[in-house]
Amino acid sequence: MAFSCARIDPLHLTHLSLTPFSACPCRPFFHRNALILSRPSKFHLRLLLDGPRGALCSRDRRWSTSRYRRLFAVVGQADTGQRSEDDANQEANEGYHSSVKGDSNVESQQKASQLRKRVVFGLGIGVSVGAVVLAGGWVFTVALAAAVFIGAREYFELVRSRGITAGMTPPPRFVSRVCSVICALMPILTWYFGHIDVSVTSAAFFVAIALLLQRGNPRFSQLSSTMFGLFYVGYLPCFWVKLRGLAAPALNTRVGARWPILLGGPAHWTVGLVATLIAISSIIAADTYAFLGGKAFGRTPLTNISPKKTWEGTIVGLGGCIATSVILSKIFNWPTSVLSAIPLGFLTFLGSVFGDLTESMIKRDAGVKDSGSLIPGHGGILDRVDSYIFTGALVYSFVKTILPLYGV
């Protein structure tokens, strides 16, 4: 008996191929484990699956080849539609991957651009600061006063932000502006009078009166945040003016012996200049080595205030800071003892770390990433000078109080 059979692709049941052949179902043409599905009717339709192949068989003689052609023409159209849908899905997937790849490229370009900005502006800031430190005098003082004014504005904007004001009452805006001006005047008064104690006390007294006599309901949070602002961004930076103003000559400094007469000659190189250069260079080294050490070995978080800082990076930064202090002391021949250079580097690192953590704590409570956007790629002025705020006071106290004990 002749049969017409259609082979079935088990992976795509809509994809059928007609293969007429003469065979008998009773003959062992298929594997003995082939699956046979039959349904009784006017004609018999059997589905036989044998491994990757299958056969659709009809025992009805009235099913001619033309009927099979019409049947598989419909099936072919369904298969074409399925293939078109698969092609569309494949194109969509390719478009998605292309989009993801494009976004990755854009992100990489943005990071590279951000890094270039940081490097360019970092070098510009470094050269400018170096020139200002070498100039000293009123140039150094006025530049520091300008930085203090901008930093004070950023501090009081942080205090007035929503993140902090959710738990406290910020000082009035006019008080914040007056305090910013007072903070900027403190370095100038320090350079002119040689001390700052009376000026700071007088300023704090008048600001406290203004807060207590304001309209409405004065709050202690207003007084505490304002007084801390005067201390943090006004009083502490003044110690850099006092440090740079130390006029004792650094007699053994080799660089000073070759310094041009037009730029002040050997007398220009004082203990204040050398100590300021060593402190600033050590802070830069501490930040750089801490960053590199954290990237390479960082595993243990240092504190919740700044999750990116690690103990491993901190230890590497401490070693880099002390090494820089010792090397520069050998170059400048000041301090003359390594036992003096090591604690100088340690105190510099200590002030750098806690100054950075203090500013991070303020920003965290304010709910912001940067204190401002003044410097492209670096954030605000406080983001760049936070490591220097406490360091000036520590280094000045060390040079004035501890170093004389070593006979320096």
182-194 per-position pLDDT tens digit: 999 999 999 998 8
Which pLDDT does position 19 carry in this prediction? 42
251 lies in the same domain as 392: yes
216 lies in the same domain as 282: yes
Burial environment of residue 71 by CB neighbours within 10 A (0 to 12, 13 to 18, 19 or more)? middle
Structure tokens belonging to residue 400: 């004035």
Which pLDDT does position 125 carry in this prediction? 80
| Alpha-carbon distances, residue 163 vs 23, 169, 245, 361 (angstroms) | 84, 11, 40, 12
| Alpha-carbon distances, residue 157 vs 79, 169, 285 (angstroms) | 67, 13, 30
349 HSE (CA, 13 A, CB side): 25
24 lies in the same domain as 135: no
Decide if 267 is inside a domain.
yes
Q: Which residues span the domain enclosing 161?
A: 129-406
Domain boundary among 75, 100, 116: 75
171 lies in the same domain as 289: yes
| Alpha-carbon distances, residue 278 vs 54, 94, 101, 271, 349 (angstroms) | 85, 57, 47, 10, 12
Decide if 112 is inside a domain.
no
Decide if 101 is inside a domain.
no
Decide if 385 is inside a domain.
yes
Strands of 45-50's sheet in order across: 16-18, 4-8, 53-58, 45-50, 35-39
253 lies in the same domain as 370: yes
Domain count, the chain: 2
Closest listed residue to residue 133, CA positions, set 277, 264, 247: 277
Single-letter amino acid, residue 91:
E
Decide if 154 is inside a domain.
yes
378 lies in the same domain as 292: yes
152 lies in the same domain as 15: no
173 lies in the same domain as 43: no
Decide if 108 is inside a domain.
no
176 lies in the same domain as 39: no
Domain boundary among 35, 54, 75: 75
Decide if 210 is inside a domain.
yes
Q: Is 55 helix (H, G, I), strand (E, B) or coil?
A: strand
| pLDDT tens for each residue of 12-51 | 444 444 444 444 444 444 444 444 444 444 444 444 344 4
176 lies in the same domain as 303: yes
Decide if 143 is inside a domain.
yes
181 lies in the same domain as 35: no
pLDDT in tens, the chain (408 residues): 444 444 444 444 444 444 444 444 444 444 444 444 444 444 444 443 444 444 444 444 444 555 545 544 444 444 555 555 556 566 556 655 555 555 566 666 666 666 676 677 678 888 889 999 999 999 999 999 999 999 999 999 998 887 677 777 888 888 899 999 999 999 999 999 888 888 788 888 988 998 888 877 788 888 889 999 999 999 999 999 999 999 888 877 778 777 887 777 777 889 999 999 999 999 999 999 999 999 999 889 998 888 889 999 999 999 999 999 999 999 998 888 888 999 999 999 999 999 999 999 998 888 888 887 776 666 789 988 999 999 999 999 999 988 887 655
| Angle at CA of residue 330, ends 141 and 335, nearest 5° | 60
What is the H or E stretch that residue 313 is in? Answer: helix 311-332
Q: Do 380 and 314 meet the contact criterion of CB atoms below 8 Å apart?
A: no
67 lies in the same domain as 135: no
